[in-house]
Amino acid sequence: MKTLYRYIDIEVTPATVLMYGKHHDPVILDEVEREKVACISWLDNGGKLKFKGIWDMPSYKGKWTEKAQKELAIFMRELLNEADVIIGHNSDNYDIKKINSECMYYNLEPPKEPKTYDTLKLAGKYLNEPTRKLGYLSPKYGGEGKLSHEGYRLYIKSVAGDKEAQKGLRAYNETDVVEGYKFFERFIPWINRDKSTWDNRVPCPHCGSPETQSRGTSVTEGGKTRKRHQCKDCGKWFLGNFIIKRV
């Protein structure tokens, strides 16, 4: 079965709080309104771009409700459960944990613990850049960068039912996924290099995936015995550095 690599990105409304003090040293008195996940966009194995907003939930009737928010939490949990690998930019510390928070808030079963690739961490591991923000890294490494928008008001208006704001937030969310996945693809040769070194697996010469298995041996025309490998992603067989017919 083909490994499901899922790139995700969520958009979250700001919390409303009562506070004393300056922005760098606040004293929070009360949370008037908690953060809400407005939408999520994702790509499976670099394929078709997909999107779901809270306004797409069955219980959303032109305005935000707890029931609609819970439905979105259930939907996002299943997106994590379905994937073999979750990819994102700062997804380990933000997107995945925010989905976990929604699951715990609504007393849902936790999603499975996913295997992940976080491009924020990959950038720190392999690159030396003044910032690891996607808006800087994307255009530098062949992407088109992030979309600009009006700021936090776009999020608030979106969950409140403003159709134009919803279109704008969707475009912003989807662009983050497209550009983020392009950036992730730049790391694939580096990931494959390290994975083949760590676990002695041979990267697939057809698709570049490190998810390969050794499956016995084969005798070449020259009489030499070599290991046979099969790629778990594209399904093709190969021998050494040569692709052979799938059996």
- Whether residue 205 sits in one domain with residue 184: no
Going by C-alpha positions, the residue among 162, 130, 140, 131 that lies closest to residue 149 is 162
CB atoms near residue 207 (< 10 Å): 14
Residue 168 lies in a domain: yes
Do 163 and 215 have their domain in common? no
In a domain, 162, yes or no: yes
Q: Which domain holds residue 159?
A: 5-189
**Same domain, yes or no, for 85 and 118?**
yes
Contact 146, 139 (CB under 8 A): no
pLDDT score at 5 = 93
- Cα separation, 107 vs 103, in Å, equals 6
Same domain, 131 and 237: no
Which ranges of the chain have pLDDT less than 50?
197-199, 241-247
Whether residues 144 and 230 fall in one domain: no
Instruction: Decide: 13 and 153 in contact? Cβ < 8 Å.
Output: no
Q: Per the domain annotation, does 39 fall within a domain?
A: yes
Residue 233, domain member (yes or no)? yes
Please tell me the predicted confidence (pLDDT) of residue 240.
Answer: 65
What's residue 245's pLDDT? 38
Q: Are residues 153 and 226 in the same domain?
A: no
Same domain assignment for residues 33 and 142:
yes
Query: Is 113 found in the same domain as 234?
Result: no
181 plus 221 within the same structural domain: no
Number of domains in the chain: 2
CATH of the domain at 171: 3.30.420.10
Across the strands, what pairs with 242? 239
179 and 118 in a common domain: yes
Domain co-membership, 60 together with 101: yes
End-of-domain residue from the set 142, 161, 189: 189
- Cα 187 to Cα 119: distance, rounded to the nearest angstrom: 8
Residue 71 lies in a domain: yes
| Residue 162 one-letter amino acid | D
